[in-house]
Structure 1
């Protein structure tokens, strides 16, 4: 027996227990059976799609796709260009320290997400987890917040791609709207191939970005040691940490770097969102989750440390490091200062491809979240329609129509409109990451309260529940730091306009949350631990024996192999 489509869970209802029992019965002897998505989340309502309308998302993402999405999937303008404005605002020390703080937070966050996604590889991932383990209203707010974030990022990235091409004199003669059209059509074509197209494009572009960053790090080491004959500076060493200095603009400069760091890391959580379309999440997700360590330590921390060593933080070009202006990219500036011919143009090509990659990822993130919201009757049902090729078509159309906002550049007030669009996405990631940590904390407490064994969990987060508490705390501290900067801005007078342009996302989250509460007339703040459904949505059921064998095998490994397996 399944929960009737039209029925919602009321306080004290026993539907959760029934759904859990039914889920367990459905899983007996069928470890890979996909449970009905309509009973995945009894707290948030059920899907009202008809059987003829509903098609399942295709599970075509392989292990190599998942790993590349985790390692290089969202490396884009945040790292390649935005890091320049962060270097100018906070100096090289603030740049590295802030990125390390955000990196530590993301390490625990992604591991928490990995544990949940391996256990419940369902559509919507972290939005769904917020609905199930925290509160439906908070989940609704997080779902709309995340979808809106990626919807507005798409036109921003398309515009950034057009600006990127203007690095070359010949491209400057072509109006930017032409380039926006070219890149928008490219994104449309990629998405016509469904999830497999997304996975293959991210695999190829991710590989190119990784090679480029590693190549840059090696080149920067040579530049710093004075090994480039054309560089008039000779040996640099730690010169720029002394003059103009390790820190700029004091504590405000330090705090101002956090949003840039968050934007640069945006998309790290996509590996969890892709779990529903992975062919074997129990095998591929743990490996992909562990790759985040290398992404944080190598590509961000090491790469930006080298940037701070070879580019002075008072370079005037860094003042323009926004909106995809790759002439202001610290990576390009480093190569230009060393007077290395051709390499600046080559790296600009990499940045262009990285922007396309992020635009592709933003389309994927928004469409899958809109689809999941519709599955739980939090949006009109047509958002949840999936065609026979596994594409959420109506959600995809909405996302691509948002891409047309890139043409606002034609308007006289285009820059002003874009500033407000960016305000919608500025803090969005921190709410998402904090909710992932909170959902994992609630999951672990519910697991213990309902007498479950930890041996039933296929993948354990590296930091456990302590890591999630730390990740949640760091997210809260960053939001506080950004509130401080929004009220008392760096180099700007206090103003309501500046405050809302830097903290607007928080008000939208509050609006979505309260709106849901008012509409549903449900003023409870959380789901009781005993009422949390821990069974619906599990793709692998009754695999305790298989997990026990895996643990016995790993216990026999030599120490070096255990250490290697911890990070790879």
Structure 2
């Protein structure tokens, strides 16, 4: 047990501007800057737009669901805590550990990617030096204060936002022929098999790419526990997500699709593993901007570091929350005088570092570790949808009125149900062909995070004899984590 007065609580230092930018920054990353090209080459401009519009709508509904719960009970554990309180303690246990593990592994992926980006400028320096350097920097930023994380993430997200705005402006000028010479207009939308290439199967496959692109938006729920005014900042941040998704994703995909034909071999190389080729770089070059590659490389480096920064923050808060709920050792309840759960952060860093060094020692081990965390984001989204559905039903059944809620989720119950269905479609649709050919190794690599989640769930359920909490017993009263005692919700 920790020994200072700040234990069992983290400081509320994140301002509205921090949460708004974190919500936006979490959804702008290599998925937009790099992988968006492969989406267009796979399903054509029309198919890519449909996939991103559908997934964008789903993410918006999920965020409004999370916003309703987060304003009612702002906690650092967010959806894992909501799963515990509104559904079943076993679900909260599985959600929390799965999410922590995901971000700890993703941290290793991010620092490895950062090293690849640095090789663009300094190819002769060993990659591990860059990876270790980035890990140390990210650790120190998060170890200082909550505000240090918020400010760093704010400015890194700002760089990404400015880049997208400049890209959209240059793109529009290029489409009309004001820059880059030839006006493309909408000609690439009717080029060869466009706008829809590969039919419904191709469009559905792009749902997966779009879904991964939007992962990270749920971070706004985790930051709720450290917001100064969650009842104001969370709704504002979430309400802005819709318009930002529309502007920064849908419009960006439209611009890329207008300027670059889906048959371009450069788009085929646009994958998360090939950060040297970005559709943004291609569009800037098309407009005649010679330094485009170097500038975009710097932006992608910022994006990767932002992802690592957010990952460190999210995972340490999740482990801290797990310890408060009794799902992790009490050792991790300790916070520094600045409200930072340092022990949880150290544990996360160690796991991330071990994963990184495993990638150096044996690629096979690394592949399996990454596979084990691959679908965790979608599993978290499923948990958010189920928790919100149960929360609202319990809220009404216990005699409360919707007007009592500080923030109302849009289109309930359509929102969470639609999000639940789409998430399941995306999870199942990761690689359906592997089932046709019964490629068991491929199936395991693709879907490993699902059985791991199920094992965690039933382990806790069987050991503690938990049950689905009846609606009239669900705790829907508004309160904050540091004002409430930790209750034993097991049988």
TM-score (norm 2): 0.92
- Other-structure match for 1:190: 141
Is the contact between residue 195 and residue 391 of structure 1 (CA under 8 Å) also seen in structure 2?
Answer: yes
Distance of aligned partners of 1:361 and 1:510 in 2 relative to their CA distance in 1, 3 Å threshold: same
- Other-structure match for 2:52: 99
Alignment equivalent of 1:457, drawn from 398, 405, 413:
405
SS at match of 2:429: helix
Distance 2:404 2:197 in 1: 50
- Other-structure match for 1:311: 260
- Other-structure match for 2:251: 302
Alignment equivalent of 2:103, drawn from 126, 143, 150:
150
Is the contact between residue 138 and residue 513 of structure 1 (CA under 8 Å) also seen in structure 2?
Answer: yes
Structure 1: 5+ residue runs without aligned partners?
1-47, 542-568
Aligned positions of 1:21-170 closer than 5 A: 54-168=7-121
Distance 2:261 2:111 in 1: 29
Distance 2:369 2:269 in 1: 19
Distance 1:321 1:501 in 2: 22
Q: CA RMSD in A?
A: 2.3
Distance of aligned partners of 1:323 and 1:181 in 2 relative to their CA distance in 1, 3 Å threshold: farther
- Other-structure match for 1:482: 430
State the Cα distance separating 1:408 from its structure 2 match. 4.0
Is the contact between residue 77 and residue 324 of structure 1 (CA under 8 Å) also seen in structure 2?
Answer: no
- Other-structure match for 2:489: none
**Bigger-Rg structure (1/2):** 1
- Other-structure match for 2:127: 176
Aligned positions of 1:262-281 closer than 5 A: 262-281=211-230
Per-residue deviation, residues 194-225 of structure 1 (Å, max 9, x unmatched)? 21111001111111111110110111122222
Per-residue deviation, residues 426-447 of structure 1 (Å, max 9, x unmatched)? 2212211121121111111111
Per-residue deviation, residues 160-213 of structure 1 (Å, max 9, x unmatched)? 111122333xx1122211211221121022112221111001111111111110
Distance of aligned partners of 1:319 and 1:167 in 2 relative to their CA distance in 1, 3 Å threshold: farther
- Other-structure match for 1:380: 329
SS at match of 2:448: helix
SS at match of 2:336: coil
How many residue pairs end up in the alignment? 481
Distance 1:266 1:83 in 2: 14
State the Cα distance separating 1:156 from its structure 2 match. 0.7
- Other-structure match for 2:275: 326
Per-residue deviation, residues 122-142 of structure 1 (Å, max 9, x unmatched)? 230111111111111111111
Alignment equivalent of 2:356, drawn from 403, 406, 409:
406
Distance 2:457 2:431 in 1: 20
Per-residue deviation, residues 88-112 of structure 1 (Å, max 9, x unmatched)? 3333222211111111111111011
Per-residue deviation, residues 254-308 of structure 1 (Å, max 9, x unmatched)? 2222222122111101111111100111111111111111221011111111112
More divergent stretch after superposition (399-408 vs 347-356) = 399-408
- Other-structure match for 2:295: 346
- Other-structure match for 1:10: none
Distance 1:55 1:446 in 2: 28
Per-residue deviation, residues 324-351 of structure 1 (Å, max 9, x unmatched)? 5322222122223444211222122111
Is the contact between residue 42 and residue 197 of structure 2 (CA under 8 Å) also seen in structure 1?
Answer: yes
Distance 1:296 1:207 in 2: 15
SS at match of 1:279: coil
Distance 1:420 1:319 in 2: 25
- Other-structure match for 2:234: 285
More divergent stretch after superposition (460-469 vs 449-458) = 460-469
Distance of aligned partners of 1:486 and 1:101 in 2 relative to their CA distance in 1, 3 Å threshold: farther
- Other-structure match for 2:367: 419
Per-residue deviation, residues 217-257 of structure 1 (Å, max 9, x unmatched)? 1111222222324x5xx222233332363334444322222
State the Cα distance separating 1:418 from its structure 2 match. 3.8
State the Cα distance separating 1:538 from its structure 2 match. 4.1
Structure 2: 5+ residue runs without aligned partners?
484-491
Alignment equivalent of 2:441, drawn from 477, 497, 504:
497
